[in-house]
Structure 1
Amino acid sequence: MELKQTGISRRGFLKGALATAAAATPQTMLAGFTPFKSDSLQVWSCGGLSEAFNELNAIYEARTGHNIQYTGAFAGALGKSLLALQSTTELFGARVLELSKKLRKAGLSLHFRPLCFTDYVLVVPKGNPAGIRDLKDLAEPGVRVMLPLRSSPPGSGPVKGILKNSNLTDAVMKNMVANGSCVINMMCELVDGKGDASIIEKRLTTHDRFKDKIEYMPIDEKLIPPGPLTFTLNIMKYVKDERLANDFADFVCGTEGQEIFEKHGFTSIYSARGLELIERFGVKDV
């Protein structure tokens, strides 16, 4: 991947940056290129974090000249491939705290830290034509409910758990007009007027295809299963330059990085709710 520079190659950019850094004072180096041993960093994460990571990666690359080789995909599959020693990466943004604990126990993760949290909300088309107020309204006769119960576990499991914990499963299932396997397609149908309400991850309310066409309301946190809410950032044993990896992690988990996660619908680890969840779930290295 080439830097967005005019008339200069990556090699030329790096040589110039290193020469500048050599003559720089500690104060000026903080704002410019920091010479690490490795030129690139391999980063994997749960696919739900992709939009936030794409923005973060672009900022980090522009500031440092380092190339972030990023892959966002189903975290469960990525985690299984890592645990089975079928693949490697240097940093891994994992979903579900238990996965990071397994990676640490297996000696594959050197250490991890809280990354961000997700949440689930009740969503309706703009204007709320059916007058939905809370989860109980999904059980009212005539309400057209659309749920992603055939999607991958992060999309379907918590939704099933929310219905079960609210004692609404049977009543809501009777009102279902769509049982989706793709949350994005289901949301497009919802804003087209084919349904009255759904339960989705809050991050999806920021999606460009429908962020201005929906409204959402919170769900009582006591009803939301805790497992899928947590994301952690792991420094893996395969890391080539731990200093570079920690620098990137500091940026992603720092104030600016967390603001970007919040922009994409996630909960910052520095927010009141984020701090409370860190303590409640024990999101700490083991």
Structure 2
Amino acid sequence: MNKRGTWARLGRGAVLLALAAALLTGCGGQGGPGGAAENRPAAVKPAPSGQPLFAYVGAGLKEPVTEIAAQYEAQTGVKIELTFNNSGALLSQAETAKKGDIYIPGGKPFVEAAQKKGIIENVVGPIAYHVPAIITPKGNPAGIRDVRDLTRPGLKLVLPDKEATAIGKNAFKTFEQLGITAAVEKNILATVETLPKVSAMIGMGQGDAGIAEYSSVSNQKDKLEVLEIDPAVNVIDEIPCASLTFSTQKEQAKDFLSFMQKEGPGVFKKFGFKVPQQ
């Protein structure tokens, strides 16, 4: 073999080796050792699907949850569609429809009931506390000072449904502790299915007192007054946030739960709710 042919073959080989080295260097710059990919986070959050999340929300939580949903959409681009009702009705609706992503009832017992039905995926909380309180028209014309005063003959009371609402359930637990259930029931003018209806009726002077959430007067101070129930007998509930097993966007729902856990307490506090110490 002559020297010219040998050098020609060696030249071609050197070119091929150089090309291979360049390709390997390029790949390393993108994803190989020492490349830029080493600076990326280990797990990258998937891009939003573009589909909204659907949430079942207790009616008494409308204001804070609406604001939290707006904040989440602004941050992620994912819209949260909200439906409001009493917690019991929402549980029945979710169980029947077997659709939706998030359940935010007024109390933990409703999530526990949903867990028994097998429709809860994940739970975070407490986001805030659901605190029963006595509300009266401005000036408290009936002169109510204590939960035992609700037994006074002739009073007209507006109470939340004790089966459908967390506050209603807990108020009647307090009455039972004190042995005043029968006397209170004699004074019931109306039983309503949501807390906002209690506030609306008392604000319009359609009753002497009602039981609602402690935060009920936060934006109605010109119409209502609030009286705290003695903590020794008051039954306070946790407000949780849960994702549903039949969600078709489980990762996005889980991300919303994380957002709610972090940002929710501050927003609930803004609307007058009592929240965990931060």
* TM-score (normalised: structure 1): 0.67
Where in structure 1 do 4 or more consecutive aligned residues deviate above 6 Å?
A: none
Structure 1 unaligned blocks of 5 or more: 1-24, 28-33, 273-286
Which residue matches 2:234?
224
1:181 and 2:187 are equivalent in the alignment? no
CA distance in 2, matches of 1:201, 1:109: 25
Which residue matches 2:68?
56
Which residue matches 1:65?
77
CA distance in 1, matches of 2:248, 2:255: 13
Which residue matches 1:122?
134
Larger Rg: 2
CA distance in 1, matches of 2:249, 2:160: 41
CA distance in 1, matches of 2:110, 2:207: 35
CA contact 1:189–1:195 (8 Å) conserved in 2 = yes
CA distance in 1, matches of 2:188, 2:115: 43
Which residue matches 1:262?
269
CA distance in 2, matches of 1:237, 1:141: 49
CA distance in 1, matches of 2:182, 2:153: 12
Instruction: Give the fraction of aligned pairs with identical amino acids, expressed as a percent.
Output: 26
Given residue 273 of structure 2, which amino acid in structure 1 is its aligned partner?
A: F
Given residue 121 of structure 2, which amino acid in structure 1 is its aligned partner?
A: L
CA contact 2:88–2:163 (8 Å) conserved in 1 = no
Which residue matches 2:111?
100
Evaluate the alpha carbon distance shift between residue 103 and residue 171 of structure 1 in structure 2; reply closer, same or farther with a 3 A threshold: closer
Which residue matches 1:196?
208
CA contact 2:98–2:246 (8 Å) conserved in 1 = no
- 3-state SS, counterpart of residue 216 of structure 1: strand
Evaluate the alpha carbon distance shift between residue 94 and residue 26 of structure 1 in structure 2; reply closer, same or farther with a 3 A threshold: farther
CA contact 1:146–1:186 (8 Å) conserved in 2 = no
Given residue 255 of structure 2, which amino acid in structure 1 is its aligned partner?
A: D
Indicate which of 165, 168, 172 corresponds to 2:177. Answer: 165
Deviation by residue 1:224-273 (Cα, 9 ceiling, x = unmatched): 346xx23322222334444432332222121x3212112334332x238x
- 3-state SS, counterpart of residue 69 of structure 2: helix
CA distance in 1, matches of 2:199, 2:110: 29
CA distance in 2, matches of 1:72, 1:240: 21
CA contact 2:162–2:172 (8 Å) conserved in 1 = no
Which residue matches 2:253?
245
Deviation by residue 1:78-124 (Cα, 9 ceiling, x = unmatched): 3234445x322122224443443454455532221113320101222
CA distance in 2, matches of 1:127, 1:191: 11
CA contact 1:152–1:181 (8 Å) conserved in 2 = no
Indicate which of 133, 138, 156 corresponds to 1:145. Answer: 156
- Give the drift of 1:216: 1.1
Indicate which of 243, 248, 257 corresponds to 1:235. Answer: 243
Which residue matches 1:20?
none
Given residue 92 of structure 1, which amino acid in structure 2 is its aligned partner?
A: Y
Given residue 87 of structure 1, which amino acid in structure 2 is its aligned partner?
A: K
Indicate which of 29, 38, 54 corresponds to 2:49. Answer: 38
Evaluate the alpha carbon distance shift between residue 58 and residue 26 of structure 1 in structure 2; reply closer, same or farther with a 3 A threshold: farther
- 3-state SS, counterpart of residue 53 of structure 2: strand
- 3-state SS, counterpart of residue 56 of structure 1: helix
- Give the drift of 1:172: 3.7
- 3-state SS, counterpart of residue 221 of structure 1: coil
1:131 and 2:138 are equivalent in the alignment? no
Which residue matches 2:277?
271
Evaluate the alpha carbon distance shift between residue 81 and residue 161 of structure 1 in structure 2; reply closer, same or farther with a 3 A threshold: same
Given residue 271 of structure 1, which amino acid in structure 2 is its aligned partner?
A: Q
Matched residue count: 233
- Give the drift of 1:219: 0.8
Structure 2 unaligned blocks of 5 or more: 1-38
CA distance in 2, matches of 1:136, 1:93: 31
CA contact 1:37–1:241 (8 Å) conserved in 2 = no
Evaluate the alpha carbon distance shift between residue 189 and residue 101 of structure 1 in structure 2; reply closer, same or farther with a 3 A threshold: closer
CA contact 1:45–1:73 (8 Å) conserved in 2 = yes
